[in-house]
Amino acid sequence: MWDRLYASAFEKVINRLGNIGRVLLAYNTNIDAIKYLNSRDLEERVNRAGKEEVLRYSEELPEKIMSVQQLLGSILWSVKLGKAAELFVESCSTRFYMKLWGWDELRMGGQVGIMANLLGGVYGIPVIAHVPQISRLQAGLFKDGPIYVPKIENGQLRLVHPKEFNADEESCIHFIYEFPRGFTVFDFEAPRENRFIGSADDYNPNLFIRTEFRKNFDEIAKNVDLAIVSGLQALTKDNYREPFETIRGHLEVLNDRNVPAHLEFAFTPDETVRKAILDFLGNFWSVGLNEVELASIMEVIGEKRLAEKLLANDPVDPIAVTEAMLKLAERAGVKRIHFHTYGYYLALTDYKGEFVRDALLFAALAAAAKAKLGDVHSMDDIVKAMKVPVNERAKPVEEALAKEYGMEKGLAEVDDYQLAFVPTKIVEKPKSTVGIGDTISSSAFVGEFALKMG
Ligand code: AMP
Ligand code: GLC
């Protein structure tokens, strides 16, 4: 059944992507310098930096990175737990160390950058992107296609491709240390593939918003159909107020124009910021998150037991996820919650229709292509992802949903909501893991509107 649903959803979505006008993407764009870790090299570096001190940092992540020992310790923390983490690198000498260590690949990074290349460069949907700093290196990572950044010339706002922006601003580089499942270093073995990110970037972590966006937002937002917001995750209790005020203003403009906005949640370590985002969520139409992010929200609303349940099983217990999504929907007042985890996705919506599920299926194909290749180059890559088998481990998840909510063909009614489920396609040996979540959320969001508008 699922193979059939996958094929028909794909046909439907690609034929209708042209229905979408402009999508606004704000705020975080950077350069990802990807290093595929090598055990011997990493062990030698740890020994040279002082193994005892490094191991201490592998027990608990620091708040930010102030030394090479903290950097290496944080990488070991990620490997040991198979968990993703991202920290701001404050120390210049550590930034220099990372630069010398080098990278295997330079790739577009940040939710906005990744989504701009996918929506604009592959799906052909016109996008307006917020790029905090446009260096030549950053601009060169944008694919050709209808991707625009605002530029003020002679007092007039113009939309130009980032390559035509011709400014020589700073490069915001995030060093991504990727490791495969089973990667071993000393006595640690990675339970699953993942990455540690060290951001040598003074703009995105502070949610720097460009003058063009602060002064001309009304005009920028004039002709957009949809918006996707991201990049709030690195803020702290000390610096979140100002950007939040600007974003609140932007959302007012979007809501006045009835432009549905999606928030890509991303893991937000600072509890004050997480609570502030939660209080603010009602301004969005939709939100996208994974199990760790959903659990972190349950924690701040006092649902500790549910938070633990979300992290207890693999695959994640779908009944606990549904309960948590219902709580979030009631509390925040968003119309759509899109949950993704390794092996399946769920969407809770206050409206009904097969198009919600079909958009999730389309997103799972895009995710499989991204996992396999590291970057989606063309629609053809997504077509080829059809060959990746549907995840067998999602069967018990589907059975549990059928038993609890009478789910059929991935659709059920739960309270006054619709719950849509899809088992995903899992790539056995992914090229890398960074950016798959962004691929999933943006594809499902635009896919849904493409189907609805068609
Ligand atoms: P995030 O945790 O937000 O970065 O998103 C990662 C998501 O990517 C997971 O929730 C999975 O749904 C998906 N994913 C991770 N690894 C693979 C893989 N090997 N094949 C297909 N999808 C994957
Ligand atoms: C975060 C990171 C960025 C990465 C992105 C992928 O925004 O800062 O480096 O490309 O996540 O989702």
What is the tens place of the pLDDT at every residue in 97-142? Answer: 999 999 999 999 999 999 999 999 999 999 999 999 999 999 999 9
User: What residue ranges define each of the domains in the chain, with the CATH number in brackets?
Assistant: 2-30+110-137+203-453 (3.40.1190.20), 33-108+171-199 (3.30.1110.20)
Phi, psi of 240 (to 5 degrees): -80, -20
Q: Using the mean position of ligand 1's atoms as its centre, give its distance from the Cα of residue 342 in Å.
A: 5
Q: Which residues pair with 153 in a beta bridge?
A: 156
Q: Which residues line ligand 2 (CB under 6 A)?
A: 28, 30, 32, 86, 109-111, 114, 174, 197, 199, 434-435, 437-438
Q: Using the mean position of ligand 2's atoms as its centre, give its distance from the Cα of residue 434 in Å.
A: 7
Nearest residue (by CA) to ligand 1, atom 19, is 427
Q: Using the mean position of ligand 2's atoms as its centre, give its distance from the Cα of residue 13 in Å.
A: 26
Mean pLDDT of the region 76-92:
93
| Closest-approaching ligand to the CA atom of 192 | 1
What's the pLDDT band for 454 if we cut at 50, 70, 90? low
Catalytic annotation, pick one of 270, 317, 375, 438: 438
Q: Which tokens in the block code for residue 177?
A: 């240390």
Q: Using the mean position of ligand 1's atoms as its centre, give its distance from the Cα of residue 193 in Å.
A: 10
Nearest residue (by CA) to ligand 2, atom 12, is 435
Percentage of the residues of the chain whose pLDDT score is greater than 90: 93
Nearest residue (by CA) to ligand 2, atom 4, is 110
> Which one, of 185, 171, 190, 184, lies nearest residue 84 by Cα?
190
DSSP class of residue 143 equals: P
22-46 as b/e, with b when 16 or more CB fall inside 10 Å?
Answer: bbbbbbbbbbbbbbbbeeeebeebb
What is the tens place of the pLDDT at every residue in 171-207? Answer: 999 999 999 999 999 999 999 899 999 999 999 999 9
Query: How many angstroms separate the Cα of 402 from the Cα of each of 9, 306, 409, 411, 419?
Result: 21, 21, 9, 9, 11
pLDDT reported for residue 72: 98
What is the tens place of the pLDDT at every residue in 251-278? Answer: 999 999 999 999 999 989 899 999 999 9
User: Is the CB of 341 within 6 Å of ligand 1?
Assistant: yes
Q: Using the mean position of ligand 1's atoms as its centre, give its distance from the Cα of residue 437 in Å.
A: 6
Q: Are 24 and 224 in contact (CB under 8 A)?
A: yes
Nearest residue (by CA) to ligand 2, atom 5, is 110
DSSP class of residue 290 equals: -
User: Is the CB of 368 within 6 Å of ligand 1?
Assistant: yes
Mean pLDDT of the region 388-397:
94
Mean pLDDT of the region 229-244:
95
pLDDT for residue 313 is more than 90 = no
Could you report how far apart the first and last alpha carbons of the chain are, in Å?
A: 24
Mean pLDDT of the region 318-334:
97
pLDDT reported for residue 432: 85
| Closest-approaching ligand to the CA atom of 108 | 2
Mean pLDDT of the region 359-376:
97
Q: Is the CA virtual torsion 384, 388, 394, 395 positive or negative?
A: positive
What's the pLDDT band for 54 if we cut at 50, 70, 90? very high
| Closest-approaching ligand to the CA atom of 110 | 2
What is the tens place of the pLDDT at every residue in 4-21? Answer: 999 999 999 999 999 999
pLDDT reported for residue 83: 86
Annotate 151-219 with three-state secondary structure. EEECCEEEEECHHHCCCCCCCCEEEEEEECCCCEECCEECCCCEEEEEEECCCHHHCCCCHHHHHCHHH
User: Is the CB of 46 within 6 Å of ligand 1?
Assistant: no
Nearest residue (by CA) to ligand 2, atom 1, is 110
Tell me which of 208 and 429 has the higher pLDDT: 208
Q: Using the mean position of ligand 2's atoms as its centre, give its distance from the Cα of residue 351 in Å.
A: 31
pTM: 0.97
Compute and round to an integer the Cα radius of gyration of the chain: 21
User: Is the CB of 365 within 6 Å of ligand 1?
Assistant: no
User: Is the CB of 426 within 6 Å of ligand 1?
Assistant: yes
pLDDT reported for residue 187: 94
Which of 27, 29, 30 for mutating ligand 2's site (highest number of atoms within 8 Å of CB)? 30
What is the tens place of the pLDDT at every residue in 282-295? Answer: 999 999 999 999 99
Mean pLDDT of the chain: 96
Residue 113 alpha carbon, nearest atom of ligand 2: 10
Percentage of the residues of the chain whose pLDDT score is greater than 70: 100
Which of 296, 382, 433, 439 for mutating ligand 1's site (highest number of atoms within 8 Å of CB)? 433
Q: Which residues pair with 227 in a beta bridge?
A: 24, 261
pLDDT for residue 330 is more than 90 = yes
- Say whether 104 is catalytic: no
